[in-house]
Chains A and B, each alone.
Chain A
Amino acid sequence: MQKKIMLGNEAIARGAYEADCRVAAAYPGTPSTEILETIAKEYRNIKAQWSPNEKVAFEVIAGASIAGARALVAMKHVGLNVAADPLFTFSYTGVNAGMVIINADDPGAWSSQNEQDNRHYARAAKLPMIEPSSPAEAKEFTKLAFDISEDFDRAVIVRITTRIAHSQGVVVLDEKMNVPLRPFERNPQKYVMIPAHARPRHKFVEEQMIKLREYSNNSTLNRIEWGSKKRGIITNGVAYQYVKEVCPEDSVLKIGFIWPLPDELIREFAEAVEELYVVEECDPFIEDHVRALGYRPIGKEVIPILGELTPEIVDMAINKKRPANSIPVYTSKIPGRPPTLCKGCPHRYVFEVLKKLDVVVNGDIGCYTLAVLPPYSAMHSQGCMGASISMHHGFELARGDEMARNSVAVIGDSTFIHSGITPLIDIVYNKGTGTVIILDNRVTAMTGHQDNPATGRTLMGEETHQLDFEQLARAIGVKRVVKVDPKDQETFERVVREEIAAKEPSVIISLRKCVLV
């Protein structure tokens, strides 16, 4: 029996390999990135790729599944927002070979713009969701997800959180299974969602939900660990580990099959214990369900809805104990150490100039978002991938030339490819005059230096066509396209001044390699 220490993300990659997954796609996003990186590095028999964004990755995987290959797509929580369109409709089509969606939530927003709880997606899209609580389970659950997917004709969502994705633990390795390609049968009633096909497929989806609820009640992923019946705690994911750590005497209902929840098992547990708790990170997802079943658990009134849980938070909430040592408190101020742009980072040159020009900066998602902090303090809006360009246009519509002549959009190379192209088309089509600066550092930097369509290399390390931003912008209809090295501060400043002043759309390609590459 071979044992290896793995990150949760590496364990998921291993699970996919052992389940004979054949195709995998993703867009990098913390805390999910290492799943595809590990597949590409360790399990070369799987065709793995970075897609331009999560929606594309999702659809590639839906295609691979329907064509007969076990397939996996991985993304961070906000990535599933981008892929929500296919999520809901490929719920209706179902699968052919197993299709698994790895979704990584980020409670605490360690490296994200929000703390959304994607368990709601499982209920909304009517798809089964399972949730491991350790790297060892991450591997096993991923493998099982392929089986559930095929048994119930549903894509299966495996939900992890940062503390599963980026925590290491011992994983037992098994041999790779051998799962042959399934035949592709032309079946438009199942795979072409015109309204006449969608309505009967919706009925199928609801029927499968009833079967899945039954499965959830009997699944080994949900289990009662009886202890003292004075107190019973329903919990899931990494919170289960905190509960076991600080409440070793209590009875625990561990939920690994998050949706549909196991009603019968919850009833059995709730009836047997004197005091009932629900300990879960993020929203009261399980708690609301337990309440709907008619019970009155203690949950979010003591367990925070904000941030991630920790053992001491659970200890304080349940045991009313404040873990501490007797070291006195240091009374002077300890300066914080926020993340910063690296020394020599090309973004520094860009924001030196933007700060000096004192323009409104519509920002985007990447390392450069750090320019919102001192010493630059030069970013004034930011929300999601690609929004810099579309919001920049909205600013112009609201305030006209006065705003357009005093503002820019800044967006990284990979973010531009992900979701920046369509808003640039929007500006040109709707006669905007904004200035877009593509911060082209030749890599997807913040998530750990991944390749993208502009680097000319694939995830598997092969040479490929290199996307040319200048040609692309011109094809969209932008007539003013300037390529400039921001380290040449004088030229860069002149170019920014000229392009902002010009009363037509312009793209500045600020080209300089990331210092860490």
Chain B
Amino acid sequence: MANVIFAGVGGQGVILASKILLEVAKNAGYDVKEAEVHGMAQRGGSVDCHVRYSKHVYSPLIEKGTADFVVSFELLESMRKLEYLSDEGILLVNNFRQDPAPVEAGLEKYPEDLESWLSSNVRKCYILNIESILKEIGNRRIVNIVMLGALSNFLEFGLDEWKKAIETQVKEKYVEMNIAAFVKGREYRLQG
């Protein structure tokens, strides 16, 4: 069983990552639930998905302080989800930085110390730099799948099960690219 929060910016594929994890957990015989955000909030705003799998799941939302994993596709967005992490929980953060509108407009500052702050304050914190993977794959829209691959190292499901789940959730012509991205993420040498 696990409680996983995916966080990112609208357009980063937070929902797709959740769907693949839901599928893999369902196929392994778990009950699964998930909560996501649609509509106005998606237009370039902060987006998150809560994914839970267990023998039986009641709430689709994860209670604060009980997430086993927070997987953030953007650096700043991880900060909004820290309160959900349990003390034993693992934080995976893509160190990519996307300025929110108030920063672009010069009204606010993007904090510069986030990486060092996270490393020293979150016990199990992994900050990933996946730029070279994105270049190699040649597509910047697979951040979600690379991060999911990194997460998969901590979960019980085998590579074949992940591949099967990806095949059901991604358009046929993109399956190969997504699996390649997933494997790159899974092979990423995590340093915490």
- Chain B minimum-CB-distance residue to A240: B58
B161 to chain A, nearest CB (A): 15
B178 to chain A, nearest CB (A): 18
- List residues of chain B with CB within 8 A of the CB of A244: 58-59
Q: Which of B59-110 contact A (CB under 8 A)?
A: 59-66, 76-77, 79-80, 82-83, 85-87, 89, 100-103, 105, 107-110
Q: Are B63 and A324 interface neighbours, CB within 8 A?
A: no
Q: Are B121 and A327 interface neighbours, CB within 8 A?
A: yes
Q: Are B43 and A370 interface neighbours, CB within 8 A?
A: yes
A32 to chain B, nearest CB (A): 10
A374 at the interface (CB under 8 A from B): yes
- Chain B minimum-CB-distance residue to A341: B43
Known contacts A169-B33, A330-B79; A325/B65 CB under 8 A? yes
B44 at the interface (CB under 8 A from A): yes
A242 at the interface (CB under 8 A from B): yes
Interface stretch (choices B34-42, B145-153, B182-190): B34-42
- List residues of chain B with CB within 8 A of the CB of A373: 101
Interface stretch (choices A63-71, A140-148, A177-185, A309-317): A309-317
Known contacts A5-B26, A370-B43; A245/B121 CB under 8 A? no
Question: How far does the alpha carbon of A385 sit from the alpha carbon of B53 in the complex, in Å?
Answer: 40
B166 at the interface (CB under 8 A from A): no
- List residues of chain A with CB within 8 A of the CB of B110: 335
Known contacts A315-B63, A327-B85; A5/B45 CB under 8 A? no
- Chain B minimum-CB-distance residue to A365: B40
Q: Are B101 and A340 interface neighbours, CB within 8 A?
A: yes
Q: Are A169 and B60 interface neighbours, CB within 8 A?
A: yes
A336 at the interface (CB under 8 A from B): yes
Q: Which of B2-37 contact A (CB under 8 A)?
A: 9-10, 18-19, 22-23, 26, 31-37
A364 to chain B, nearest CB (A): 13
A123 to chain B, nearest CB (A): 28
Bin chain B's interface residue count. 35 or more
Q: Are B105 and A327 interface neighbours, CB within 8 A?
A: no
Question: How far does the alpha carbon of A261 sit from the alpha carbon of B32 in the complex, in Å?
Answer: 30
Known contacts A3-B26, A337-B45, A337-B100; A323/B63 CB under 8 A? yes
A235 to chain B, nearest CB (A): 12
> Given B38, B66, B83, B100, which contacts A336 in the complex, CB threshold below 8 Å?
B100
- How many residues of A are counted as interface, with CB atoms below 8 angstroms from the partner's CB atoms? 52
Interface stretch (choices A91-99, A160-168, A394-402, A433-441): A160-168
B154 at the interface (CB under 8 A from A): no
- List residues of chain B with CB within 8 A of the CB of A31: 38-39
Q: Are A334 and B58 interface neighbours, CB within 8 A?
A: no
B1 at the interface (CB under 8 A from A): no
- Chain B minimum-CB-distance residue to A334: B79
> Given B39, B43, B59, which contacts A245 in the complex, CB threshold below 8 Å?
B59
Q: Are B117 and A169 interface neighbours, CB within 8 A?
A: no
Q: Are B34 and A167 interface neighbours, CB within 8 A?
A: yes
Main secondary structure of the interface of B (DSSP, over half): mixed
Q: Are B76 and A337 interface neighbours, CB within 8 A?
A: yes
- List residues of chain A with CB within 8 A of the CB of B58: 241-242, 244-245
Known contacts A169-B32, A339-B10; A328/B101 CB under 8 A? no
B138 at the interface (CB under 8 A from A): no
> Given B46, B65, B66, B121, which contacts A337 in the complex, CB threshold below 8 Å?
B46
Known contacts A311-B63, A374-B101; A335/B40 CB under 8 A? no
- List residues of chain B with CB within 8 A of the CB of A447: 39
- Chain B minimum-CB-distance residue to A167: B60
A494 at the interface (CB under 8 A from B): no
Q: Are B38 and A338 interface neighbours, CB within 8 A?
A: no
B133 at the interface (CB under 8 A from A): no
- List residues of chain A with CB within 8 A of the CB of B117: 330
Known contacts A169-B33, A335-B109; A446/B100 CB under 8 A? no
Q: Are B102 and A310 interface neighbours, CB within 8 A?
A: no
Q: Are A367 and B65 interface neighbours, CB within 8 A?
A: no
B122 at the interface (CB under 8 A from A): yes
- Chain A minimum-CB-distance residue to B114: A330
Question: How far does the alpha carbon of A367 sit from the alpha carbon of B44 in the complex, in Å?
Answer: 12
Question: How far does the alpha carbon of A341 sit from the alpha carbon of B40 in the complex, in Å?
Answer: 10
A246 at the interface (CB under 8 A from B): yes
Q: Are A324 and B40 interface neighbours, CB within 8 A?
A: no
- List residues of chain B with CB within 8 A of the CB of A342: 43-44
**Given contact pairs A166-B35, A330-B82, A373-B101, a sample of 4 additional A-B residue pairs in the complex whose CB atoms are under 8 Å apart:** A163-B61, A167-B60, A310-B63, A339-B42
- Can you give 8 A-B contacts (C-beta < 8 A)? A110-B38, A134-B60, A166-B35, A241-B60, A323-B63, A332-B113, A334-B76, A339-B45
List residues of chain B with CB under 8 Å of any chain A CB: 9-10, 18-19, 22-23, 26, 31-46, 57-66, 76-77, 79-80, 82-83, 85-87, 89, 100-103, 105, 107-111, 113, 117, 121-122
